[in-house]
Structures are given as structure tokens and as C-alpha cells.
Structure 1
Amino acid sequence: MTSTERGIAAAEAHSAHNYHPLPVVVATAEGAWVTDVEGRRYLDMLAGYSALNFGHGNRRLLDAAKAQLERVTLTSRAFHHDRFADFCTQLAELCGMELVLPMNTGAEAVETAVKTARKWGYKVKGVPDGRAKIIVADNNFHGRTTTIVSFSTDPEARADFGPYTPGFEIVPYGDLAALEAAVDADTVAVLLEPIQGEAGVLVPPPGYLAGVRELTRNRNVLFIADEIQSGLGRTGRTFACEHEGVVPDMYVLGKALGGGVVPVSAVVSSREVLGVYAPGEHGSTFGGNPLACAVALEVIAMLRTGEFQQRAAELGEHLHSELAQLAAGGAVAAVRGRGLWAGVDINPSRGTGREISEQLMARGVLVKDTHGSTIRLAPPLVISKEDLDWGLDQLRGVLEG
């Protein structure tokens, strides 16, 4: 039995089977490349679902983490620490907002956004107690907590986890008329992904986000943008909402905010919205810890240069040009996305998304399938054009070979 086989067997024997990973066991990683326990190298074209926007082992992020590890890693929010104020101030400035509420995981941040919107609805908007409604889109993916799966339309995420949390209405993604019809006096928020990642990198119709912004503003409803996957450089802008000149009432952030080093998430909004909280009403032992703040501060500093947004825009244009050629040849049924992010629908005659992912793994490229026939491409923003082209050559070889 090889080291890979032993590792997979041990994992399957002692861990819950809530994931179905590709049969590779990663041992080390650097930049856009990972190396398995057998010494084989793979080009990472998934980047931890955008958590690794800045690549594996980014030296700036590792140095920031190491320096903080020598000082203090956790105080809890029972005390102040010397990285917290800078983190909140700089993240608020990056978002053009006023207040930050830090958490750890993306799902925690979404739960925080839901709680915040409801409390704002009762305390500020004046919605009667217990009647707050949040509108979401079908095919959404905001996490897997019991509340979040209550408004999922994915049977795998939702089935057998009831009873479900009430207070949500689901409308078709990209359908502004349906959204407008769903808004009523009890509506406190509209929660959307500017681009739906797990659904296959679905980009809404032009003008949709701007229409949502106008509608919510006119009806005194919060527009919450879940930028956990789409934000922090992935689409060629700091936030995907920027492509339509939209600023929501609340950003939900995670994944890349921790640089692939530690889990860091946050809800960022105005003083009117996040100011509804009083001590004891919400919190997290690890949320906003010194180590998380140190890493996130370095992420913010890197984003302020604009370098990573520009790379995502330029390499993303090249990526989509190459994928369009594949689509023209018939091997690909459809391509969607923005920046260094693409959903590729495989022609069923070429195989399933899982089969294509396995064939790419055999060629040294790691991707992830979703919804049967789709693969997602989201390489680290630090990937070189040469490596990107090599990865696309492997995809071309699998589909046209």
C-alpha cells in the first residue's frame, strides 16, 4: 500500500464521510502548486474556494502570523488587544463602511448577518416582533448551519436536517421582478451572492445588482452582499459588487480574509446597522483574536496595492478567452464567471464533472466539480500566466483528447 493509499484509508476509517475528496494527499504547498506525499506536484486551480487567493505559503502572510505567534494569540473579547483596533479600522476603510463585527468562519458571518438584519428590523425599521423576513435567491450557498440550510434549495445540503428555521423567502436568482414582488412591510433584508459560486459560478444579468440596490434603498430594506467567495480580489475588483458600481448595506466576508492561514470572517456595515448590538447579545471566543487580526491586516495591506485585483482582471480575461475557444469546439457546453473564476459546464459526452476532475488530477491539475456536470476554476491570484496556460492545456487535453 502506498503512502497515498494509507492516508486515504486512515481518513476514511476515522472521519465522517461528509466530503468526497479527490484521491490525493497533499503534504506541502507553495504559491499555486501543491505536492503530495509521494512527491508528485499538482497545480491548484481551486485555491480553497478562494480562501487561498494569495497562494499557498505566502511569505508576507506567514511572516505576519509568525511574528504574532511570538506575542499573543488569544485574549477573548473580554479584554482589548493591540491588533484589534487597527483591524477594525482598516477593514472598515477598505469596505467604505463604519463598523466591523469579526467572527471566524463564513457560515458564522452569515449567521451574524441574519441576526443583525433581524435586530435592525425590529429596533430601527419597526417590524413587529417575530415577523422579520429575509429574501434570498434559489441555488444559493451561504453555509451549512441549520438556519442557513433552511433557506437552501440544494437537496444535498437541506434534506434530513429539519425542522427548518422560518423567516426566509426564496426567489429566482437574477429575477428583479420576482424580488420586488416578494418585498413587503416585514422584509428586513435581501441576502445575495453577487456571483453564485457553489451553484457553478453563476453571474447575474447586467444591471441586476444595481436594481437590487435601488429597490432595497427605496423600500427601506438592507442589501446584504455575501462576498465570502467573490470578494477580496477574486473577480478583478476588491468586491464583485463593484462591477456594477454597487455598495451594499452590509458585506459578509471570509475565506481570503484569513489568507489561507487562519479562519477569519467579518460582517462590515454602517453604525446604524451594527450599532444595534449591546454587550452580551452576540459574540465569539475566537472572533477577532490577535493572530487572526495580524494575518487579516496583512491581507488588507496587500489588497490596498491593487496588484492582486489587477492580476485577477488581466489573467481572468485571458482565462475566459481560452475557455471560450473550448466552448466553440463543443467540448464545453457553457462557460461563466468573472476575473480568475470560472464555471465550466462539461459536454456530457466528455464525462461528468467528477470524471473530468479525476482525469485532470492524473495530469497534475486539481479542480472541483459541482452539480454533476460543472467544474470550477479558481486558481490563486498569484498564479503565473505560464502556469495558467499549462493548466488550461491539460484541460484541453482531457476534453479534446
Structure 2
Amino acid sequence: MSSQITDGPAGSAGTHRLPQERRVVTEIPGPRSRALQERRTAAVAPGVSSVLPVFVTDAGGGVVIDADGNSLIDFGSGIAVTNVGNANPRVAERVAAQAARFTHTCFMVAPYESYVEVCEALNRLTPGDHDKRSILVSSGAEAVENAVKIARYATGRPAVVVFDHGYHGRTLLTMTLTSKNMPYKQGFGPYAPEVYRMPMAYPFRWPGGPENCGPEAAALAADQITKQIGAANVAAVVVEPIQGEGGFIDPAPGFLPALAAFCRDNGILFIADEVQTGFARTGDLFACEHEGIVPDLVATAKGIAGGLPLAAVTGRAEIMDKVHAGGLGGTYGGNPVACEAALAVLEEIESEKLVDRARMIGDLMLPRLHALAGRHDEIGDVRGRGAMTAIELVRGDGSKDPNPELTAEIARRCHAAGLLVLTAGTYGNVLRFLPPLVIPEHLLLEGLDLIEAAFAAQTTASAALSS
């Protein structure tokens, strides 16, 4: 496939509403953002943190505009939420029209067609051609939690298996499922019972080497589940097809198919947490499709509604139909405004061919990142698929010791230059890149230039300090 992409798509409006340019007119953060930060400090609990303390006034295409008039290149997409672009015209139009009609009835009180339409679309689009049912909720954590509830109810089993480096949310149950202690779990225990953690097929850090990682990790998981828990006691295995907050870990080939086969053989439900990977982000509509995985249950959120709070659980009809009436739901789940946004997102993905575009973004980014790694031995690994890519930073000189300090410094340099990037990883040593799928090519390339410049400047600074 060619790695050339155009400066579109701009979405249903045909052109981008905002100038698609990086523009740095003040230091970042600037004086207005700093003043707003003072108000925030006085009003907002400090437990809610921010990657970059600039206050946003506008966003669209591949840029975010702050209160000081700086235009930053967006390599974050609100953590893989604005896949179709911020304030996408089709989304905005449908949201405004629905808000003018009614904003809430609670689907459990008086239903409406858009909730049904979203469920029909999810049943059609998620992996597998079997009969499916869906429910709508408000957040990714709520989706994962409901998927576990459904699995336990349907199987009558208590245990749930998750994996090292996994992230599944901040509620009590999903915090328990999450691997990383700080900042997600520290001080918030005791945790939910009957959750068991297995080693992840992490190619870069697998003791037997990346070439053996997939089959060895799958065999180890099957052995530990059988011996330590008892396969007959396990309701579900919950796994991200590519781990998000854990550092964009793309499991070694063969791991997920072997895990899915083990689940089928033992009556265990396979739950795919597609919250961050779904809706065209990885170059497939859902990341499970890459190796032909057909989950029993799929949890989705983030990219589903273009920035409005919506999430879903979609699963086999015979599983979803087991739960008694009233056993699932929530006041805001499937809000009508969010449902209209989701329908617009799905239309945009199809009409603008955003699955193909995500692949093209990966075809541009990954070679540049690999070339950068060839010049800087602190980049231990380059990985990802489509528009979900990352680099893992280490101490260098052949060491795989994590380097969170360098990661933070590179991110800081990118932010100061007008590029919004995110960090991730169990060890805090991963730079992850999630550009909107509608980002113009010139901004994508400029963002990569800025990453390269940040590494070069850091190398120069380090050499000056050591001389």
C-alpha cells in the first residue's frame, strides 16, 4: 500500500474549519492558560491531573487551539476519542439537531430509536457474523464492568483473568482488573475478589525472545489458569487486543488466537476490551480483526461517539439474553444526544474510508520512527498498528532498563514546540501517538519532524552536560 495520504479528509463539510497549521505565539503554557491554571488549582481536586496545562478554546482536524492563541498539532485525539476529528461537522450537526428535540428520557423509562440504531450497527460491525445483542452505557470502565457482570451471570462462574500491563478503568472492579498500581490503584484498596493476573505476551520484554513470545505466553497462561484457578471456575478472560495505557503493547503473533482457543475449549468467555483500539484506530475497524479473533463479548467506548460519553457491550445473543430484565442499565446509558453522535461517527468512518486512512498513517509514521530508533539507541522498541503507534525509551547501550526521565523530557520538548503527545507504559517510558484519523499529511509529517528535533536537542543537551 502506498504511504502517501492527502491533506484530507476534512469530514462531511469538505474543508477544515480551522487553519491546519502549527502556530506558537507564546510560551506553552501561555499567560492566559497559566491564569486559568490558578483558578483550576483553587477549584478542582488535585487527583485529576492533566498532561499539558494549556486550556483549550477550539479544536478540529489535526490541531488544538489554546486560550493564548497557540495552535498545537494533536497527536493525542483526547486519548483515541476524536478519531473522526474534533467537532466533526457531521457529528456536530446531528448532536445539535437532537439537543433541540430532547436531551434525555432515560432509555429504561421511555426508549428512542437512536439507541436501537446504535445497537444494530454494533451488532453488525463487531467481529463475527453470529446473532448479537448490545447494551449502551456511558464510559469504557462501565462497559468492561458490565461485560464481566454478564460473563459471570451467563457462566455461573466467579473468576476473571486479566494480564500484566493491562488497563481497564478506574471503578472498583476495573481498577482491580488494571495492572499498574501508580497512579491508578495506590491507596484505593481493598480490591474486588476473584481477579487473577497472567503474564502478557510482551515481545520486547519476553525472556525467551520475541520470536518465542506468542506460543510461550499462551502456553504459560493456559497452564497457570488450569493449575492455579481451575479453568472450570473462570467466567472470562479480559484482554486488550493492543494494550493502551500499558504502553501500546501489541501482543506477539499467535498469542490471542491461542488464548481464544483455550477459552473455547474450556467454556470461558473471551472479552475483548476494544475501548482504545476500536473504531478504525488500528487500521481495522476493531483490532481483533487483525488475527481473526471473534470475541464472545466486546467492550467499546472512546472513539464511538466523537467526544460524547458513550460506551457499549456487544456479545453473543445467547449470552446477552441470559441476564434478567432490569439487571443491566443506567440513568445516562445510551443518552440520545450521544447516540446521534455515534451514528454520525459510523457514517464518517465509512464515507471517509477512515479504516484505510489509519493504515496509511501507520505506513507514514512507523518507517520514520524506526529510522529515528536507528539514530538513538535510547529507543528500545517501535511498535503499533495503524494510527496507534509508540516508542519505548530505555537507558541505551543495549540496556532495556526503562527510561521514564527521558520520556518525560522528550514529551516536554514536544509540548513546548507545539506538539501534543502522550506518555504511557507500566514503567512510564513510552511515548504514544494517536493522531486524529483526519489529520492532514503535512501536520503529521511536521509532528514527526518535531519528535526528531526533540531527540536531537536532548542529545545535544546531554552531551553538553557530560563535557
The two structures share one fold, judged by TM-score above 0.5: yes
1:57 and 1:203 map into 2 onto residues whose CA distance is 30
Query: C-alpha displacement at 1:306, in angstroms?
Result: 6.9
Aligned to 1:286: 332
Aligned to 1:171: 198
Aligned partner letter, 2:260: R
Aligned partner letter, 1:372: G
1:282 and 1:82 map into 2 onto residues whose CA distance is 19
The answer to whether the 8 Å contact 1:46/1:377 transfers is yes
Q: Is 2:370 aligned against 1:319? A: no
Aligned to 2:133: 99
2:115 and 2:247 map into 1 onto residues whose CA distance is 36
Aligned to 2:448: 392
The answer to whether the 8 Å contact 1:194/1:230 transfers is yes
Aligned partner letter, 2:102: V
1:120 and 1:45 map into 2 onto residues whose CA distance is 40
> How far does the alpha carbon of each residue in 1:77-106 deviate from its partner, in whole angstroms, 9 at most, with x for none?
211213222221122111145101100110
1:85 and 1:399 map into 2 onto residues whose CA distance is 49
The answer to whether the 8 Å contact 1:316/1:341 transfers is yes
Aligned partner letter, 2:134: V
The answer to whether the 8 Å contact 1:135/1:168 transfers is yes
> How far does the alpha carbon of each residue in 1:4-46 deviate from its partner, in whole angstroms, 9 at most, with x for none?
1111111122111221432322111111101111101100101
2:341 and 2:189 map into 1 onto residues whose CA distance is 37
Q: Is 2:118 aligned against 1:118? A: no
Aligned partner letter, 2:406: T
Q: Percent identity?
A: 34
1:275 and 1:329 map into 2 onto residues whose CA distance is 55
1:37 and 1:20 map into 2 onto residues whose CA distance is 16
The answer to whether the 8 Å contact 1:253/1:265 transfers is yes
Runs of 4+ in 1 over 6 A off after TM superposition: none
Aligned partner letter, 1:85: V
The answer to whether the 8 Å contact 1:94/1:300 transfers is no
Aligned to 2:44: 15
Aligned partner letter, 1:120: A
Structure 1 range deviating more: 20-29 or 196-205: 20-29
> How far does the alpha carbon of each residue in 1:190-243 deviate from its partner, in whole angstroms, 9 at most, with x for none?
100000010110000001111112111111111000000011101000011111
Aligned to 2:186: 159
The answer to whether the 8 Å contact 2:382/2:392 transfers is yes
State the secondary structure of the residue aligned to 1:251. Answer: strand
1:62 and 1:165 map into 2 onto residues whose CA distance is 39
Aligned to 1:78: 109
Query: C-alpha displacement at 1:373, in angstroms?
Result: 2.2
Query: C-alpha displacement at 1:255, in angstroms?
Result: 0.4
State the secondary structure of the residue aligned to 1:352. Answer: helix
The answer to whether the 8 Å contact 2:159/2:236 transfers is yes
**Pairing of 1:363-382 with structure 2 (within 5 A):** 363-370=417-424, 371-382=427-438
The answer to whether the 8 Å contact 1:91/1:300 transfers is no
Structure 1 range deviating more: 227-236 or 323-332: 323-332
**Pairing of 1:2-401 with structure 2 (within 5 A):** 2-18=31-47, 19-76=49-106, 77-95=108-126, 96=128, 98-122=132-156, 127=157, 132-156=158-182, 157-174=184-201, 175-181=217-223, 182-183=225-226, 184-260=231-307, 262-305=308-351, 307-330=353-376, 331-348=378-395, 351-370=405-424, 371-401=427-457
1:167 and 1:105 map into 2 onto residues whose CA distance is 23
Aligned residues: 392
TM-score normalised by length of structure 2:
0.81
Aligned partner letter, 1:56: N
> How far does the alpha carbon of each residue in 1:134-178 deviate from its partner, in whole angstroms, 9 at most, with x for none?
111011100011112223331212221111111111001122112
1:158 and 1:220 map into 2 onto residues whose CA distance is 31
Query: C-alpha displacement at 1:276, in angstroms?
Result: 1.4
The answer to whether the 8 Å contact 2:169/2:178 transfers is no
2:37 and 2:309 map into 1 onto residues whose CA distance is 25
The answer to whether the 8 Å contact 1:348/1:373 transfers is no
TM-score normalised by length of structure 1:
0.94
1:232 and 1:190 map into 2 onto residues whose CA distance is 22
The answer to whether the 8 Å contact 2:73/2:418 transfers is yes
Cα distance 1:85–1:23, how it changes in 2: closer, same or farther (>3 A)? closer
1:55 and 1:304 map into 2 onto residues whose CA distance is 14
Query: C-alpha displacement at 1:347, in angstroms?
Result: 4.7
> How far does the alpha carbon of each residue in 1:271-294 deviate from its partner, in whole angstroms, 9 at most, with x for none?
111111222212111111211211
